[in-house]
Structure 1
Amino acid sequence: MLALSGRQQPAGIHDRLREAHAVTAKLLSDLIGETCRRFPSAGQSEKTARIERLIGSEAWTEVALALIDLEMPQWQVRRIAYDEGEWHCALSRQRELPEWLDQSIEARHVDLPLAILSAYADAQRINAPPASRTSVPTVPRNADAFYEPAGCENFA
């Protein structure tokens, strides 16, 4: 048999959150490094200091909720429920709407902080702007060879 050579790509943060059994400081550090744009921020020093204190005391659920408050202030927890051995977390921009009208982000996990962090990571992925987005839309530059410009005016 042939052995597969080469390196496997490291699992993305979404896969790592899904496969984790509990939150660790390393996992949280990786999540913050990959998804947080405001941590640490000069204007939010009180909130970032609070998150650092919570990480030090291993209050993982509070850390997850504080990250949502810091990084995505327009998002709020819509629902946290425990059903059939899993925690379900839903984040929403408009909690006042009926649930059937709202477009919420939902995640589930056996561990409550990981369910909240998974929903947070999914919402961050949806909110992230495309890397190559410019203020002016771009037009494809490769014109097909079969098309040639033609004048259609009739000056008769």
Structure 2
Amino acid sequence: MTAALRRYDPPSLGDRLRNAQAMTRPLMIEIIETASRRIPALGQSGRTARLTRLIDAEAWADAALALMELELPMWQVRRIAYDEGEWHCALSRERELPDWLDDAIEAHHAELALALLSAFLEVRVLATDVSRPSVPSVRPLPDPLCEPVACDHYG
């Protein structure tokens, strides 16, 4: 587990996002410092420079989308909708599936950037809860007491 995820306290940061009235530079920097694994490894590449420019310009929704693109390459925005004063954002690994089959991660907030970043943090929590090996799993060896036997009689 990386140092960033060890010090990552999802409930408190998630609560801060839900209770925030507007996105701020310190909040965005905290999210990047605590919840990102790839950005430190990328260094000052063109993609991280773009994220920095978006933060400097306070283009929060674009910065949130750029952060998701860098940090969650297997996830895509499935839906962004505005309904009754709130933005609803859904992220999915299988965007082409019908809604009822997809296990999308959804979040909502009155501010678009905060809705996007809330969904981002939910995916991060899911990723830390579900540890997947980097190699495929191998089926265990068969039990020596239970061996398959051919039952067909060709007589």
Q: TM exceeds 0.5? A: yes
Displacement after TM superposition at 1:43 (Å): 6.8
Structure 2 residue runs without a partner (length 5+): 1-10, 136-155
Number of equivalences: 123
Determine the C-alpha separation between the residues in 2 that align with 1:130 and 1:77: 21
Question: More helix per residue: 1 or 2?
Answer: 2
Q: TM-score, normalised by structure 1?
A: 0.74
Change (3 A) 1:104 1:44: farther
- Secondary structure at the aligned position of 1:62 is classed as helix
Change (3 A) 1:40 1:75: same
Displacement after TM superposition at 1:46 (Å): 1.3
Q: Is the 8 A contact 1:40 1:48 kept in 2?
A: no
Deviations 1:38-93 (A, max 9, x none): 11333771111110010000000000000110000000000000001100000000
Q: Point out 4+ residue stretches in structure 1 off by more than 3 angstroms.
A: none
Matches within 5 A, 1:67-106: 67-106=67-106
Matched with 1:51 is: 51
- Identity of counterpart residues, as a percentage? 54
Q: Is the 8 A contact 1:82 1:88 kept in 2?
A: yes
Matched with 2:60 is: 60
Bigger Cα displacement from structure 2, 55-64 vs 11-20: 11-20
Q: 2:98 is matched by which residue type in structure 1?
A: P
Q: TM-score, normalised by structure 2?
A: 0.74
Deviations 1:72-124 (A, max 9, x none): 00000000000011000000000000000000000000000000000001001
Determine the C-alpha separation between the residues in 1 that align with 2:50 and 2:12: 27
Matched with 1:110 is: 110
- Secondary structure at the aligned position of 2:27 is classed as helix
Q: Is the 8 A contact 1:41 1:48 kept in 2?
A: no
Matched with 2:19 is: 19
Structure 1 residue runs without a partner (length 5+): 1-10, 136-156
Determine the C-alpha separation between the residues in 2 that align with 1:123 and 1:13: 13
Matched with 1:142 is: none
Change (3 A) 1:96 1:39: same
Determine the C-alpha separation between the residues in 2 that align with 1:17 and 1:126: 17
- Secondary structure at the aligned position of 1:94 is classed as coil
